[in-house]
Amino acid sequence: MKMERKPPTGPLKGVRILDLTRLYPGPLGTMILADMGAEVIKIEDINAPDYMRIYPPYIESESAGFLAVNRSKRSLALNLKVKKGVDIFFSLLKTADIVVEQFRPGVLDKLGIGYDATRKIKADIIYVSITGYGQNGPYAQDAGHDINYIGYAGILSATGSSKTGPILPGPQLADVAGGAYMAIIACLSALWSREKTGQGQRVDVSMLDAVLPLMTLQMAHYQATKTTFAPGEPPLSGGLACYGAYLCADGKYVALGILEAKFWKTFCNMVGHPEWIESQLVMGEEAEKLRAEIAALFRTKTRDEWIEAAAGHDVCLTPVLDIAEIETDPQIQARQMVYEQAHPVCGKVKGIGVPLKFSETTAQPAWPPPALGEDTQSILKEIGYKPKEIETLRKEGVILVAE
């Protein structure tokens, strides 16, 4: 029998979350909540578990993507398409604080476990629904992915250059900033509201809505001027020569991010070009000329030579790291932002650490991602099911119990 697993520490210890999400946005959000001490029970269909479990690439036999966003959780494998499965869900619901789901509007209503049904069982339940476009509006039932949401939000039209047109950002902005992070905010805000009022509620998280704040300054500029920039023209997206990525002699890049006059003056003097000092904030053709001169300068040394030259000068010049370099960066190491964890199948697995540091309630990964149904028995025992009942449910195909 598997050992009982409960979060040892964290500011959310004592909060129980039923996690019905799959793939990336919801699972990342609930993993961070689990790292912060919440007891997250990942509920998966026994016949169609989280698709991320089968997505390549793999570490041994396990999906690297699944490992990345499901640590610190418990696993309950359940058939929610039969009444006994729904009964188990409702029994567990009575012990829970939050439900997080990521289906299109109406899908869980058809299964009988939508918000209206759950609040009849537990009036103060917090029910967080993550969708692409929200619970209402003309796009509510439309399928979509990250690219679609950032396209609607104007992010794609602002990313790239006049030569390339829109360029896809490296990370999935809508999935992470719009889905995972906003789901965390939704859970914590609703918990605080319930603490004050005693009332649960549904929180409607639209990934399109949630990425629009990323365009706050761009929207403000448009409202003030009624003009739009082409990709690569905004000051902080290619328009300013003092703010950009530059190629070095070894094919690597540096990030020059100087907006303050004092830093710019120091930089110009450091590189022996005091004549650039008065041109810091030029735009258009003047910026193109200055950018070409700065680019030629950076091509004279390797990336690391430039970083060494800038050390101690306080000039906002940093390396552009590739993914293989992140874990060896001393700042990232000092902040424990690459975390290594032992996995029973994969050995030692590295992932992104916990981004929030609490002085009194340490938040940290508790255990590796669970096998499908790994905690089914222990969870059912906790809510009153007897061993014989559990075995019957297993034989009937209502639950799956990991071997």
Q: Domain ends where: 271, 295, 319?
A: 319
Alpha-carbon span 150 to 169, nearest angstrom:
10
Instruction: Spell out the residues 6+ positions from residue 28 whose beta carbon is closer than 8 angstroms to its own.
Output: 69, 175, 176, 179, 180
Q: Are strands 201-206 and 126-131 parallel, antiparallel or unpaired?
A: parallel
Residue 71 has which token pair?
């640590």
For residues 274 and 383, membership in a common domain is answered with: no
For residues 153 and 276, membership in a common domain is answered with: no
For residues 159 and 32, membership in a common domain is answered with: yes
pLDDT at 73 over 60: yes
CA dist 346 to 342, 354, 364, Å? 8, 21, 20
Q: Domain ends where: 263, 294, 319?
A: 319
- How big, in percent rounded to 5, are the helix, strand and coil portions of the chain? 40, 15, 40
Contact (Cβ atoms closer than 8 angstroms) between residue 327 and residue 338: yes
Residue 236 belongs to some domain of the structure: no
pLDDT digit string (tens) for 133-174?
Answer: 999 999 999 999 999 999 999 999 999 888 888 999 999 999
CATH no. for residue 51? 3.40.50.10540
pLDDT at 63 over 80: yes
For residues 146 and 272, membership in a common domain is answered with: no
Q: How many domains does the chain have?
A: 2
Residue 243 belongs to some domain of the structure: no
What is the domain extent for residue 64? 16-213+332-400
Q: What is the pTM of this model?
A: 0.95
Sign of the torsion angle spanned by Cα atoms 181, 184, 188, 194: positive
For residues 126 and 274, membership in a common domain is answered with: no
Residue 392 belongs to some domain of the structure: yes
Residue 102 belongs to some domain of the structure: yes
For residues 194 and 266, membership in a common domain is answered with: no
Residue 218 belongs to some domain of the structure: no
For residues 291 and 365, membership in a common domain is answered with: no
Residue 393 belongs to some domain of the structure: yes
Q: How confident is the model at residue 4 (pLDDT cuts 50, 70, 90)?
A: low
For residues 56 and 165, membership in a common domain is answered with: yes
Of 97, 175, 209, 375, which residue is the catalytic one?
175
pLDDT digit string (tens) for 119-136?
Answer: 999 999 999 999 999 999
pLDDT digit string (tens) for 235-287?
Answer: 899 999 999 999 999 999 999 999 999 999 999 999 999 999 999 999 999 99
Q: How confident is the model at residue 3 (pLDDT cuts 50, 70, 90)?
A: low
For residues 22 and 59, membership in a common domain is answered with: yes
Alpha-carbon span 159 to 139, nearest angstrom:
24
Residue 186 belongs to some domain of the structure: yes
For residues 76 and 164, membership in a common domain is answered with: yes
For residues 203 and 70, membership in a common domain is answered with: yes
For residues 199 and 57, membership in a common domain is answered with: yes
Active site residue 146: no
Q: Domain ends where: 271, 296, 319?
A: 319
Residue 65 belongs to some domain of the structure: yes
